[in-house]
Amino acid sequence: MSRSYKKSPYCGDKKGKDKKRVANHTVRNYLKDINKVLSKGGFKKVFCSYDICDYWWLQSWEEYWEDCLRGYREHPEWYKQPPNKKEEYRSWYKSYKMK
């Protein structure tokens, strides 16, 4: 197993190229099997629109830590204890840096 990591701290749904390729393949197969033409926007009936990448975050460790502290300051009742820098770094690393 490689020990590589992401070059940019990205977290979210998969990026668009794979999704576009799968969507195009699905629509082509649908048209080939049915032998008909889709109307404008008809691909939405063939390919689920929820599979589109519509959320992602690009956040450095410093920005992530500031957000954790800001959240604790604004809503201390949501937390049992103040955020631990080591645990939060591990959480950020899992979400944003690991492949």
* Cβ–Cβ under 8 Å, residues 23 and 47: yes
Whether the per-residue pLDDT at 8 is higher than 80: the answer is no
pLDDT tens column, 81-92 = 999 999 999 998
Whether the per-residue pLDDT at 68 is higher than 90: the answer is yes
- Comparing C-alpha atoms, which of 61, 63, 67 is closest to residue 86? 61
* Cβ–Cβ under 8 Å, residues 70 and 81: no
* Cβ–Cβ under 8 Å, residues 27 and 79: no
> What are the domain boundaries of the chain?
14-53, 59-99
Q: How far apart are CA 96 and CA 90, in angstroms?
A: 10
Measured torsion, CA atoms of residues 71, 56, 94, 76, in degrees rounded to the nearest 10: 10
Average pLDDT over residues 21-41: 72
* Entry pTM: 0.54
